Amino acid sequence: MKKIISYNLNGIRSAMSKDFIGWLRAEAPDIVCIQETKAQPEQIPTKELDELGYKAYWFSAKKRGYSGVGIITKFTPNNVVKGMNIEKYDDEGRFIRADFGDISVVSVYHPSGTNPDRQGFKMQWLTDFHLYVNELRKTRPNLIISGDYNICRLWIDIHNPEQQQKTSGFLPEEREWFKNFIDDGYIDTFREFNNLPNNYSWWSFVTAARKTNKGWRIDYNIITTSLREKLSDAWILPDVVHSDHCPVAINISF
């Protein structure tokens, strides 16, 4: 059984200054998919990760201090692929894949729609990402796609849903994309075990929303349906506070 965690750190150096390493030592996940490293590989202190027995693989944005994904793992992958071979996305450091036998683990950071141009970029990304992973499944059918999707999939995945339907991250077209994606042979692991509202993975710093749990569930461990029988649990860790996000986790056998 492997514990896999996805965690948007909102800056790995910032998280390390808040004892991310101490938490990692105590939590002891087998694999962590990290988003928003906001650092180039040479800027990331890896000595502490090495001491905990983790191998680290990073894919950074060309723009310094922006985006970036990584995978840290206690098990050496057979193969690591950085990017999707689509320049405009790879320049932003949004996708990294590690293969472990017949299972592939992906750390992905979907764009946010911070303005109309970026919303258009996001919607095009969603189309291209869906096509890419469907093509990938032809040769790597067993996928664990962990990351910050920047979309609340369901009505219960956001506080005050009635008032949020014109907000990027909860737009009808975004939720429609997510429905179509799941229907295409993918599983939202958390909702296999928990169908209750008020379970979130991100809270705005601006409004101190975490104190009142006015959050969004935008971080996911998505798996292909081929792995359903190997999944044994999925949960959120809302009390972990290195970031404006919290970790989301699964137990899966491979």
Q: Which of 30, 148, 219, 244 is catalytic?
A: 148
Could you confirm whether 148 is annotated as catalytic?
Answer: yes
**Residue appearing with tokens 């027995």:** 53
Q: How far is it, in rounded angstroms, from Cα 204 to Cα 202?
A: 7
First-to-last alpha carbon distance for the chain, in angstroms, is 7
**Residue appearing with tokens 């680290």:** 56
Q: How far is it, in rounded angstroms, from Cα 127 to Cα 178?
A: 10
Neighbouring-strand partners of residue 249: 5, 235
> For residue 233, what are its two tokens?
């649990």
Coil/strand/helix, residue 231: strand
Is residue 187 within 8 A of residue 162, CB to CB? The reply is: no
Residues annotated as catalytic (active site), given as ranges:
148
